[in-house]
Amino acid sequence: MAAVEGADVSRRLLVGEASSKDGSGDMVKTIAIAVCSAVAYLAVIVGLTVYCSIRLIRAAALRKHPPRDHHAAVHGQSSPTNSLGVRRSDRRH
DSSP letters along 51-77, please? HHHHHHHHHHHHHHS--SSHHHHHHTP
Taken as a whole, the chain contains a residue count of 93
For 44-72, write each residue's pLDDT tens digit.
999 999 999 999 999 999 888 876 765 66
CA 89/CA 85 separation, integer angstroms: 12
pLDDT of residue 29: 94
Indicate yes or no: pTM above 0.85: no
Kindly report the backbone phi and psi dihedral angles of residue 81, in degrees, each rounded to the nearest multiple of 5, phi listed first.
-110, 155
Are the beta carbons of 80 and 88 closer than 8 angstroms? Answer: yes
